[in-house]
Structure 1
C-alpha cells in the first residue's frame, strides 16, 4: 500500500486531524493511556529576507488527560533537515509555550500551569546516540540521601518537562517495541523510488491497531491540497539549504580572508624583525648601513 510520507508537515497535520489517531500516536509514544485529547496545529509564516518565498511551518500542540486524571500540554515538532538555527528556534518556541498564559487549567477556581511534554521527530540523526527513540525523563531525588521521591509537586512539574526524541533515520525494519512498530510509518527506507512524498508499506505487516493510521495516510495521497503542500515544503527546504550553503561559503571566505590578513601581518612583522637583526649585525661590525 502506498501512503503519504508523514515526515511532511502537511501530511502529519492531515493525520492528526483524526482525533482518535492522534490519541493513538501520542499515547503509544508516551506509553500511557490518554482519555482526552485536544490537538491543534499552530501555523507560523515568515518571509525570507532576500527571496520572495514564504516559509510556512506547523507546530503541533495537544492538551491531554491521562487515565490518572492528569493534564499536560504535549508539543510536537517535525524537523526534516538539520540547520544551525534549529536549537535556538526550538528554545524560543519552548520559551513561548512556558510564557503562554493560555497554557493553564482552571481547577476549582484555581489556575494551574499545564506541565509540558515535548516530542521531536528528527529527519536527521543525532551525533552520538543511535537509539531510534529516546526518552529524557525527570526524576525527583533527595540530594542528601539520593533517594527517589515519588510525590509530584505542581511547582516543579510546571517548570520542568520530559522529552521524547525520535531519530527517523535510525528507525529499522526490525522493530523491538510497540512504539518502534508504530513509527514504521515514518521509516524513510520505505520510499519506493525518487518520489520522497510516498512510502510503500505492506498493510498485513502492520499490527491491526495501527492499520487505521496507514489507511488515513493512504487517503492523503488523493488530497490535492496535501500533495501541493508537500511540493511547497520541498521548495522551501531547498531554498533554506541554498541559503545555509551560501552563508557557510561566505563564512569560509571571510575566515580565509582574515587568515590571509593575519598571515600577511605576521610575514610583515617577521620581515621587519629580520631587517632590524641585520641592521644590528652591521652596527656591531662597525658598518654604516647608510654609508
Structure 2
C-alpha cells in the first residue's frame, strides 16, 4: 500500500514532524541506537522563512536515554539539517556558540562539579559530504593511552565527556532504498528517490518499508501533507530556494568573469615579463658590445694610433671614444 507524505527535506515539514514528542523519540532512538525514554525540546532556530537567511533548521533536545545496564542519563542533542552544501560551513559556528551558552551546563543540584551534559551533534544533509559513501556516519570519541591502547578504567569520565562530543552524519543521497536496519527504515522518509513526479512537496512510500512504531513517523508526515500552514510554508521555501539559486548563479557568473579577467591579467603579466627579459637580454648584449669596443679602443690608443683614426675604425664618435679611454 502506498502512502503520500509531506517531504521532510523541507524545514517546515521537518519542524512539524519533530514537534511530535513520540516521533522525536523514535527518530532520536534510531539515530542514537539507544532507547530515548523522554525528550524535551530546549530551543529551535528556524531560518527557513526569512529571505535574508539560507535555509537551515536547528533543534536542541534534552534526551533521557536508557543505558545498557538499565540506568538512565541525560544527553544534550544538537540536530541540524540543511540541503545546501554552503551551509555546512556554519555548523561549527553554531556549535561553538552552544559551548559558550551557560544554559547548556548542568545545575548544581544535578552535578556539584558543574560538568556540561554529554553532547551529540546530528547533521542531516541533503547533499553528499566529500568521499564518504555511507548513508549514516558515526564519529565517536575514544579514550586511548600513549600506545593507542583503549583505556577501560574510569571511563566515561564526566570532565572528558563535557569537552568532547560524538557526531552523527546522515547523507540523504546515499539512502536510496536501503532497509538494512531500523534507522535506515526510519530515514526512508527523507529519501528523495520517492518524490512524487512534478511535485517535490510530497513523497510516495510503501508500507512494506516500515514496521511497528515507524508508522508513527509516516502518519505524522501524512498529517503534515494535509496541513494548510505546512503547505504554504513549503511554497515559501521554494521561493526562497529559487532566490538562493539565482543569487548563487549570479555569484558564479561574477566569479567566472573575475577568473577570466585574472587570466587575462596573468597573460598580460607574462607578456610584460617576456618583454622585460627581451629588453634585459638586449641591454646585456649592448653592455657586452660596449665592453668589447672599450677594450679595442684602449688597445689601439696604447699602440699610438690617432684618436680620429680609432673612432673611424670602430665607427664611434670622438666623445664616446674619449669616454671609453678615460674610464
Structure 1 length as normaliser, TM-score? 0.88
1:101 alignment counterpart: 102
Tell me the equivalent position of 1:11.
Answer: 13
Which deviations, in whole Å up to 9, do the C-alpha atoms of 1:175-210 show, x marking residues without a partner? 211111111111111112021110001224421221
Could you tell me how far apart the structure 2 residues matched to 1:71 and 1:141 are?
24
CA distance in 1, matches of 2:129, 2:47: 27
Q: Secondary structure at the match of 2:103?
A: coil
Structure 1: give runs of 5+ residues left out of the alignment.
none
Count of residue correspondences:
282
Q: Give the Cα–Cα distance (whole angstroms) in 1 for the partners of residues 283 and 147 of structure 2.
A: 71
Provide the rounded CA distance (Å) in 2 between the counterparts of 1:265 and 1:155: 57
Confirm or deny: 8 A CA contact 2:63 2:76 kept in the other structure.
yes
Q: Name which of structure 1's ranges 264-273 and 171-180 shifts more when overlaid on structure 2.
A: 264-273
Equivalent residue, structure 2, for 1:113: 116
Instruction: Label 1:47 to 1:195 Cα distance change in 2 as closer, same or farther (>3 A).
Output: closer
Confirm or deny: 8 A CA contact 2:21 2:39 kept in the other structure.
Answer: yes
Are the counterparts in 2 of residues 45 and 57 from structure 1 also a CA contact under 8 Å?
yes
Report the RMSD for the aligned CA atoms in angstroms.
2.4
Aligned-partner Cα distance in 2 for 1:14–1:152: 35
The corresponding residue for 1:66 is: 65
Q: Distance in 2 between matches of 1:185 and 1:46?
A: 20
Shift of 1:165: 0.6
The structure with more helix, counted as a fraction of residues? 2
Computing the radius of gyration from Cα coordinates, the structure with the larger value is 2
Q: 102-111 or 117-126, which moves further after superposition?
A: 102-111
Q: Structure 1 residue aligned with 2:246, among 231, 242, 245? A: 242
Q: Corresponding residue for 1:206?
A: 210
Q: Give the Cα separation in 2 of the matches to 1:61 and 1:287.
A: 92
Note if contact 2:6-2:201 (Cα within 8 Å) is conserved in structure 1. yes
On the 8 A contact 2:12/2:230 being kept in 1, the answer is yes
SS in 1 for 2:97: helix
Counterparts of 2:130 and 2:224, CA distance in 1: 33
2:167 paired with 1:163: yes
Task: Provide the residue aligned with 2:265 in structure 1.
Answer: 261
TM-score using structure 2 length: 0.79
The equivalent of 2:129 in structure 1 is: 126
